[in-house]
Each structure stands twice: as structure tokens, then as C-alpha cells.
């Protein structure tokens, strides 16, 4: 058994699996890799043919190193055939591109929910059985992609199309809207100005459809690498990320035509040949077939150059009756009788082998990836007759590269005989098409695409860390400043950046410093109403009214910076400024760590208690006032609070700048899977005040009530992302404010009820120093506990595992309290309580 095993998850159609089979061949040639292929039964026959045709290239153990795993359920072809359509054809342009994308979602990806889930579970069973070193999933095999994603394995995504399909949305300056044509439109590159509006509308419409289809996977999402048979020189000039490898054409090894069919070899050698091969799934209707025949006949009649012949694959649709193409064949009867034209329902010889003979002078095809790359690899000019999606893109690209002609531009997706004849004549009579095709083919021969792809798969299988971008070197054992330790009675230690001070009353400060700190802290504690009040007051100033209104509408209905996870307005200068240093000095506020945290992981910090205003979380875990960056180098933490705060003018900017974000589930996941050292969340952390408003309502001095029994959402977020759980306690948080009973007051009681009605829930009213909303000057010690490892379960998490983690978290939180309450001067009468 080899030390590396590769599992391919793929559809069974020729165009999509040729790449899989090509790399399987190369991995077997290496002789040190076990190959597993999970696909539908139709692919097994092709795999057996590959093995028998190339057995001489493998060592004696190759049969024991390749394994086929049959998937149950309908294949991609089966799903499409039952629609009764001849193809997923659509016209070019805005409407056509939208129709094509809709067909992709509904027809090509047309499995029922039950079929989808059944095939998905079959893939999961195979993954669990094989336990591969790496998974390589066909981009168009959605169930395989989902299984690879949810199984948590290192995964490589294999694309069959151009680079545009992968990186279009990553181009800077929204270039996908105005510079690059959307696949399916057939627009040329660079986009003419009059087509920019239509391209922009098409991009926005299809993006909306894609994001709502459930098929979305970000290019930098989950640990994966992209392999594509494209080359940068064969595509529009674009920026390509490091996790995408353009291998060049990834093509099957083929025996020579002489070996496969000696008679066909002799026929091809008679004269230059035009190969008409419109793809595996393309079965034209009788009228289109007749138009193709008319175009070929017109070319035969008008061509005065060197004698040529035509080889045409004309497959019937599974729903067709015999003889459906008799009218088309009759048009070329003279050429067929003279053996200048051959029309076959299926080629017994691989098209690649025919292209390698050098006798094919023009390849007429639909623009599909396989036909496109086979012709390019062999330096053969194209006449492209596109009818859907990427085929239109390749037709436009062929003309831009000068290696072919868009042969049905005026009638697509249909075909006009005269236009086809003119396209053939143009390519056959102009030597420049051949010269440019040969020039590009030399680029493809520098290194076989299947060799480059196989090498990268093995490299990633042996070094999974290479899936990620390089992470900055961080020596967590050697912090950037001196750390101090404090110990408890059991000898356990905490580390902090400030020298510890004896527990007890704070030493007096100079009067002016005390006043400055008090004013600053009071202002920071009242930003929740002062900043929105100031923001809304812009509406009262005539010159600012329009700007203020537009701004308020923007943050309420458009702005989503608090949920994207990309931290666009986070301001480290503000977070580490004198403002927060003075804030921390007021209490004083100190941050302690129980252990180092690896910057190669993700974390969910659960902060308790919420208190009246979670001042410890805001100062130590959002802003960097207590040495978070020194204690946890390489960790980017975000405090998550109610989304409603981010709809308030100026308060939104304050919170985002200080390092806060929205606490919705989607926001939690994005903050843990975006950015980071690898662009996928490595080194990201979020802090959630788990108890929320319930914990706020029971917060008062001399208590430690924790609302966690009914809180499991944060556990689910950790499980879905693989983030470790970290309990955090703010010792002294509940001592900062006093509770005020306003219900018995004649004056304040009605106002309190009005306030509760306006916010939609009960509110416990509080006050602090000087009977205003200013916290008492009491020590606030935030202790970060030890992380609880979490096994990632992206899909359908196990409820028993959720309960187990929830129990571990509660125990860890209670132990953290018991271990350190005496050190931080907590009164013995204060009990740790788990409140419903």
C-alpha cells in the first residue's frame, strides 16, 4: 500500500472526467500513489479501457493501486435526459447568459432533493471508508464538493473550464462588470463601451442567482486548491491567486490512430481533414444538422485549394428515432459516396489521436473545454459553433487570440449554413490562424498538464499545509514584552503584561488625572446614546440635512461592514490609543492568559458575566488596552454585539473602529472564516457575551449569575467552523454599577415602562458613581481560560456532541471561577450560579 492515497469525486461525463482519468494515468505512472475514483458506473468502463491501453506504462502493482467506487443514483447525463431537452442551449448576450445560468442550476444540476442527499451520503461513506490523504473533487459534481467540504479533509477542486470562471469575481476595481465579458454572453474582450451596461446587468443577475442557489463556494473558502487546464496565456489578462494552478491542457494519453483503427489512419493520411466534433452531449435537432450539412456542402463546392475531406460525428439524442438525420446526410451524399466525407454517430478513434496526426487542418467544435484544449495542444485552428455558457466565451477568445473563428455569431445557438461555410473558408485560406495555433501549442508542450496536476496533488497530499498561504512567522513563546505571573493556592499560574498589584484598595491618583479618567470613561460608557443623538442631530442642521439623511439610510439599509467578517473599518491606531490606555487605567483593567493560543487555529471566546455594560470585554478584547496583542500574538479578535447598534449613526463607526462586529450566526461564521493569515480565518477569534440581555438583567454587585444553560448557538458556531471554545471571566464586572429600583418611583416608573416598550424587552436600570452612568473605580480582571478542542462538523452536527461540548464549557467556566476567585478578592459570599 502506497503512503499517499488520492480520492477523486467526479461525474461520469466525458468532458468532465477526461481530466480525472488523465491525472489517474499520471499518478499510476509514478508508482507511489493509491488512486480511488468515486463516480457513476458509466465511468468504470472508460477507466478499464485506460488501464488496458496503457498497462505497459505502469509497474506490476498498478492493479492493486487503483480502485473504482460506484455511486448510486442518477448521473448528470441521466438527470439531463429526463428533462427531454436536446441541450442546455441559449442565445448569447444578457438574456442568454441569464437563461444559461438558470439552466445550469435547474437542468444540469437537476437532481431532486432526495437524489442529491442520497448521492451525498454515498460520497461521505466512501470518504470514511477510504480515508484518503487528499480529495480531488470535480467542480461540477456538487455532491462530491459538499462531501469533501463537510468531511473536513484536505480538498482540491478540479475545474474543466477557463481561468475566467474561477477568478472573474476576484478582479480589482469591479472589473468583472466593465472590463471582462461574463461567460455565456459571447461579448468580446475588452468589452466595447455599448455592451458594458448589459454585461454589468448579467453579472449582477447571475451573481444573485448563484448566491441564492445554495451552490456558492468562495475561491478562498475551506482548505482547498484549484487545478485548471487553462494557462494565463490562453485567457484574458487577469490576476490569479496563489491557490490556483493553471496546469495547461490536461489530456488523456491516447494510442495512435494506427493502433486504434488502421483503416481510419489510412483514410486520414489521404488528404487534409476537417474534423467536426460537437461534443459528447450535443445532439443537434434535424434542422440544425441539415444546416451544418448545407454549410459543409457549400464549402466543398467553393473550395479551390488543396483537396480536403470531412469527418463528422453526428450522434442521435436518446429520444430520437433511427434515420432522424437522413435529410442532412442526403445533402452530402455525393461526398460520402466519393469517401470525401464520413458521418459517424460515434468515433471509434479518440479525437485527440486524430488531432495528433497533423492531418487535421481545422477543428469544428462547440467550444467545450475538451475540444478547445485538444485543438490548442496540437496547434489546430478552430471554427467554434457555441450554444451555451463557456462555449460562447471560448468562441470570443479564439478570435481574440487569432486562432479561430466564431462560426455562428449571427444565429447562435442555431447554425447558418452560409455563415459556417464562410468561417471554414476564412480559417482554411488564412495561414495566420495555423501559425498562431502552433505558437500557442508550444507553450502547452513545456510541461504536460496532467504531469503538473499530478505533481501538485501528490505535493499537497504529503504537505497539507501548502494548501494555505504562508503564515507570518510568530514566536508565541517569545512575546514582544515582559510577562508577569500570578499564582493561586494550587500553584496554577496566569500571565499578564502588567506587574501585579496587591489586592485591595487602589492607591490614590493625582486629582487632575482622576478627573480626566472619570470624564473619559463616562463618555465611553455613554456612547450608546450620545453618538446616535449627535448623528441624528445632523437632520436639524439645514446644510447637513441631506448628507445626514443619506448617511442614515445607508447604514440602515445598505451597509453590512459589521457582518462581512473582513473588518474594513477596524482601526488599530484607535484601538491601541491613549484613550483606551486611560480607560484601562481607570479601574484598573488587566487581562490574563491561562495558556498560549496558537495563531494557526480559530477561537470562540465566551465572556461572562455580561454585566451592565461589558466594560471588560470592550476594553480588553475589542480595544487593545490591556495587552491582548502581546499575550496572544497572531490572534485577531472581534467582539460581537447586537446588530441593532450598527444601525445607529456614528455609534456604528465607533464600534467598528474599536474592533466590534455583529453577533448574528452568519456574521460569527464569516468572522471566523475570512481574513486570517491564510485568508480563510487562521488566527481569527470572536468574543461573544454569551448570557446577553438575560445576564444583563440579573447583573448586580455581589452576584455571579451566568446564563449559559440555554445558550448553545455559540457551540454550534464553533462546531461548524472548527473553532476552539475558550471560557473567559471578567472578575469585577458585576461590581461596576448599582441597580436602581425605578418602578416604585412616580416620576421614573412611567419613563421606565416607556423605555422598556420602546426597546421591546424588560430593562434593569443601573447607576454608578455620582448617581450617573459612570462605572465605579474598582479592579476589573479579565481571565482567558484554556481552550476546549472542537472537532469540526460542517454539515448536520451531532446533537450529542453539541451537548458534550456544552457540558465541557460549563465545567471549564466554573473551574475558572473557582481557581481564581480568591486571587482577585471575590467575597466568599458570592456564589457561581448557572441561571436558566
DSSP-assigned letters across all residues of 788-831: B------SS--HHHHHHHHHHHHHHHHHHHHHHTTTTT--TT--
Q: State yes or no: pLDDT of 237 exceeds 60.
A: yes
Q: Decide yes or no: CATH 3.40.50.2300 for domain 257-446.
A: no
**pLDDT higher for 3 or 385?**
385
**pLDDT higher for 426 or 504?**
426
What does the pLDDT average to over 756-768? 68
Task: Report the phi/psi class of residue 319: left, alpha or beta, with left for phi > 0 and alpha for psi in -120 to 50.
Answer: alpha
Residue 224: predicted pLDDT: 63
pLDDT band at residue 758 under the 50/70/90 scheme = low
Q: State yes or no: pLDDT of 219 exceeds 50.
A: no
Q: What are phi and psi of 120, to 5 degrees?
A: -60, -50
Cβ atoms of residues 761 and 693 within 8 Å: yes
Q: State yes or no: pLDDT of 628 exceeds 90.
A: yes
Residue 218: predicted pLDDT: 38
Q: State yes or no: pLDDT of 215 exceeds 50.
A: no
Pick from 164, 222, 194, 233: nearest CA to 391: 164
Residue 117: predicted pLDDT: 87
What does the pLDDT average to over 676-700? 85
Q: Taking the CB of residue 772, how many other CB atoms lie within 10 A of it?
A: 10
**pLDDT higher for 324 or 118?**
118
Q: Taking the CB of residue 811, how many other CB atoms lie within 10 A of it?
A: 12
Residue 475: predicted pLDDT: 46
Q: State yes or no: pLDDT of 471 exceeds 60.
A: no
Report d(CA 800, CA 712) in Å as an integer. Answer: 12
With vertex at residue 267, the alpha carbon angle to CA 264 and CA 271, rounded to the nearest 5 degrees, is 140
Using one digit for the tens of pLDDT, what is the confidence trace for 59-115? 888 888 999 999 999 988 888 777 766 567 889 999 888 888 777 666 666 788 888
Residue 328: predicted pLDDT: 84
CB neighbour list of residue 748: distance below 8 Å, 6 or more residues apart: 742, 765
CATH ID of 4-85+112-168+217-251+450-467, from 3.20.20.70, 3.40.228.10, 2.60.40.2230, 3.40.50.2000:
3.40.50.2000
The two counts, helices (H) then strands (E), for the chain are 33, 26
**pLDDT higher for 279 or 356?**
356
Classified as helix, coil or strand, 253 is coil
Cβ atoms of residues 481 and 497 within 8 Å: yes
Residue 473: predicted pLDDT: 45
Residue 106: predicted pLDDT: 65
Q: State yes or no: pLDDT of 262 exceeds 90.
A: yes
Report d(CA 624, CA 602) in Å as an integer. Answer: 19
pLDDT band at residue 762 under the 50/70/90 scheme = low
What does the pLDDT average to over 297-308? 90
Using one digit for the tens of pLDDT, what is the confidence trace for 490-512? 999 999 998 866 555 556 778 88
Dihedral (Cα; 140, 146, 148, 153), 10-degree rounding? 140
Mean pLDDT, the chain, rounded, equals: 87
Q: State yes or no: pLDDT of 739 exceeds 90.
A: no
Query: CATH 3.40.50.2000 spans which residues of the chain?
Result: 4-85+112-168+217-251+450-467, 257-446
What does the pLDDT average to over 757-773? 74
Report d(CA 94, CA 205) in Å as an integer. Answer: 9
What does the pLDDT average to over 248-256? 90
Q: State yes or no: pLDDT of 1 exceeds 70.
A: no
- Reading the block at residue 80, the C-alpha cell is 439531463
Among 129-138, 206-215, 259-268, 331-340, the minimum mean pLDDT is found in 206-215
Check the CA dihedral 459-462-466-468 and report its sign: positive
What does the pLDDT average to over 201-211? 82
Residue 661: predicted pLDDT: 94
What does the pLDDT average to over 198-209? 87
- What percent of the chain is modeled with pLDDT above 90? 57
Name the H helices within 212-281: 257-260, 262-268
What does the pLDDT average to over 443-470? 80
Q: What are phi and psi of 309, to 5 degrees?
A: -140, 165
Q: Taking the CB of residue 555, how many other CB atoms lie within 10 A of it?
A: 21
Residue 760: predicted pLDDT: 59
Using one digit for the tens of pLDDT, what is the confidence trace for 121-174? 999 999 999 999 999 999 888 888 888 877 777 678 898 888 988 888 888 888
DSSP-assigned beta bridge partners for residue 685: 603, 637
pLDDT band at residue 212 under the 50/70/90 scheme = low
pLDDT band at residue 217 under the 50/70/90 scheme = very low
Which of 45-54, 281-290, 428-437 has maximum average pLDDT? 428-437
pLDDT band at residue 182 under the 50/70/90 scheme = very high
Report d(CA 371, CA 234) in Å as an integer. Answer: 14
Cβ atoms of residues 363 and 375 within 8 Å: yes
Check the CA dihedral 5-12-152-709 and report its sign: negative
Instruction: Tell me which H or E stretch contains 832.
Output: strand 832-835
What does the pLDDT average to over 325-337? 90
- Is residue 340 reached through a cis peptide bond, with omega within 30 degrees of 0 on the bond before it? no
Report d(CA 696, CA 107) in Å as an integer. Answer: 52
CA 426 from chain centre, in angstroms, equals 43
Amino acid at each position: 500500500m502506497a503512503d499517499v492515497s488520492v480520492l477523486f469525486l467526479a461525474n461520469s461525463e466525458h468532458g468532465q472526467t477526461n481530466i480525472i482519468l488523465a491525472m489517474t494515468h499520471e499518478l499510476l505512472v509514478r508508482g507511489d500513489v493509491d488512486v480511488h475514483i468515486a463516480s457513476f458506473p458509466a465511468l468504470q468502463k472508460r477507466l478499464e479501457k485506460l488501464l488496458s491501453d496503457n498497462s505497459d506504462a505502469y509497474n506490476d502493482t498498478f492493479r492493486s493501486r487503483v480502485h473504482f467506487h460506484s455511486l448510486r443514483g442518477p448521473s448528470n447525463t441521466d438527470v439531463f435526459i429526463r428533462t427531454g431537452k436536446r441541450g442546455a442551449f441559449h442565445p448569447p448576450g444578457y438574456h442568454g447568459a441569464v437563461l444559461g445560468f438558470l439552466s445550469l442550476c435547474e437542468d444540469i444540476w437537476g437532481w431532486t432533493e432526495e437524489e442529491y442527499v442520497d448521492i451525498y451520503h454515498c460520497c461521505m461513506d466512501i470518504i470514511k471508508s477510504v480515508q484518503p490523504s487528499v480529495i480531488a473533487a470535480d467542480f461540477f459534481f456538487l455532491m462530491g464538493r459538499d462531501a469533501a467540504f463537510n468531511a473536513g479533509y484536505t480538498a482540491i477542486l478540479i475545474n474543466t473550464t477557463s481561468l475566467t470562471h474561477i477568478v472573474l469575481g476576484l478582479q480589482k476595481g469591479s472589473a468583472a462588470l466593465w472590463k471582462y465579458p461574463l461567460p455565456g454572453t459571447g461579448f468580446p474582450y475588452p468589452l466595447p463601451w455599448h455592451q458594458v451596461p448589459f454585461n454589468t446587468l448579467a453579472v449582477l443577475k447571475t451573481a444573485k442567482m448563484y448566491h441564492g442557489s445554495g451552490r456558492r463556494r468562495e475561491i478562498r473558502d475551506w482548505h482547498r486548491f484549484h487545478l485548471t487546464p487553462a494557462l494565463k496565456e490562453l485567457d484574458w489578462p487577469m490576476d490569479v491567486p496563489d491557490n490556483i494552478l493553471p496546469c495547461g491542457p490536461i489530456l488523456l494519453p491516447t494510442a495512435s490512430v494506427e493502433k486504434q483503427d488502421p483503416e481510419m489512419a489510412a483514410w486520414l493520411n489521404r488528404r487534409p481533414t476537417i474534423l467536426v466534433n460537437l461534443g459528447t452531449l450535443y445532439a443537434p435537432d434535424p434542422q440544425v444538422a441539415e444546416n451544418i450539412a448545407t454549410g459543409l456542402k457549400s464549402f466543398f463546392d467553393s473550395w479551390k485549394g488543396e483537396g480536403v475531406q470531412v469527418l463528422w460525428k453526428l450522434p442521435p439524442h436518446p429520444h430520437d428515432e433511427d434515420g432522424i438525420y437522413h435529410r442532412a446526410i442526403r445533402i452530402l451524399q455525393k461526398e460520402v459516396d466519393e469517401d470525401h466525407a464520413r458521418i459517424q454517430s460515434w468515433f471509434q478513434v479518440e479525437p485527440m489521436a486524430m488531432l495528433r496526426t497533423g492531418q487535421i487542418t481545422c477543428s469544428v467544435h462547440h467550444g467545450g473545454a475538451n475540444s478547445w484544449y485538444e485543438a490548442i495542444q496540437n496547434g489546430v485552428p478552430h471554427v467554434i459553433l457555441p450554444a451555451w455558457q463557456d462555449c460562447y466565451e471560448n468562441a470570443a477568445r479564439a478570435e481574440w487570440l487569432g486562432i479561430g473563428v466564431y462560426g455562428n455569431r449571427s444565429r447562435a445557438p442555431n447554425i447558418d449554413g452560409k455563415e459556417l461555410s464562410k468561417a471554414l473558408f476564412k480559417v482554411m485560406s488564412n495561414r495566420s490562424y495555423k501559425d498562431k495555433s502552433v505558437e500557442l501549442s508550444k507553450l502547452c508542450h513545456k510541461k504536460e498538464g496532467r504531469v503538473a496536476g499530478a505533481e501538485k496533488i501528490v505535493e499537497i497530499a504529503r504537505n497539507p499545509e501548502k494548501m494555505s498561504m504562508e503564515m507570518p512567522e510568530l514566536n508565541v513563546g517569545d512575546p514582544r514584552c515582559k510577562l508577569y505571573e500570578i499564582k493561586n493556592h494550587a500553584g496554577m499560574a496566569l500571565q499578564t503584561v502588567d506587574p501585579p498589584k496587591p489586592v485591595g484598595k487602589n492607591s490614590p491618583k493625582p486629582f487632575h488625572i482622576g478627573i480626566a479618567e472619570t470624564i473619559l470613561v463616562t463618555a465611553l460608557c455613554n456612547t450608546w446614546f450620545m453618538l446616535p443623538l449627535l448623528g441624528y442631530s445632523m437632520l436639524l442642521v439645514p446644510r447637513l440635512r441631506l448628507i445626514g439623511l443619506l448617511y442614515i439610510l445607508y447604514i440602515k439599509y445598505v451597509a453590512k461592514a459589521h457582518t462581512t467578517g473582513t473588518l474594513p473599518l477596524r482601526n488599530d491606531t484607535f484601538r491601541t490609543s491613549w484613550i483606551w490606555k486611560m480607560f484601562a487605567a481607570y479601574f484598573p483593567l488587566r487581562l490574563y492568559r491561562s495558556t498560549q493560543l496558537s495563531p494557526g487555529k480559530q477561537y470562540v471566546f465566551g465572556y461572562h458575566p455580561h454585566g451592565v455594560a461589558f466594560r471588560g470585554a470592550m476594553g480588553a478584547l475589542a480595544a487593545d488596552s490591556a495587552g491582548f496583542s502581546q499575550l496572544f500574538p497572531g490572534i485577531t479578535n472581534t467582539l460581537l454585539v447586537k446588530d441593532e447598534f450598527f444601525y445607529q449613526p456614528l455609534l456604528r463607526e465607533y464600534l467598528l473602529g474599536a474592533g466590534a462586529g455583529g453577533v448574528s450566526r452568519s456574521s460569527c461564521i464569516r468572522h471566523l472564516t475570512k481574513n486570517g493569515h491564510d485568508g480563510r480565518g487562521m488566527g481569527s477569534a470572536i468574543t461573544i457575551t454569551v448570557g446577553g440581555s438575560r445576564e444583563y438583567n440579573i447583573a448586580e454587585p455581589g452576584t455571579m449569575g451566568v446564563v449559559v444553560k440555554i445558550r448553545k448557538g455559540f457551540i454550534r458556531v464553533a462546531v461548524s467552523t472548527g473553532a476552539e471554545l475558550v471560557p473567559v471571566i471578567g472578575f469585577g464586572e458585576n461590581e461596576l454599577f448599582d441597580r436602581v429600583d425605578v418602578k416604585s418611583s412616580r416620576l421614573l416608573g412611567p419613563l421606565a415602562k416607556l423605555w422598556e416598550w420602546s426597546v421591546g424587552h424588560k430593562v434593569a436600570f443601573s447607576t454608578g458613581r455620582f448617581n450617573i452612568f459612570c462605572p465605579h473605580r474598582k479592579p476589573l480582571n479579565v481571565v482567558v481560560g484554556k481552550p476546549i478542542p472542537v472537532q469540526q462538523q460542517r454539515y448536520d452536527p451531532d446533537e450529542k456532541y453539541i451537548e458534550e461540548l456544552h457540558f465541557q464549557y460549563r465545567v471549564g467556566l466554573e473551574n475558572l471561577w473557582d481557581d481564581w476567585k480568591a486571587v482577585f478578592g471575590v467575597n466568599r459570599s458570592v456564589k457561581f450560579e448557572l441561571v436558566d
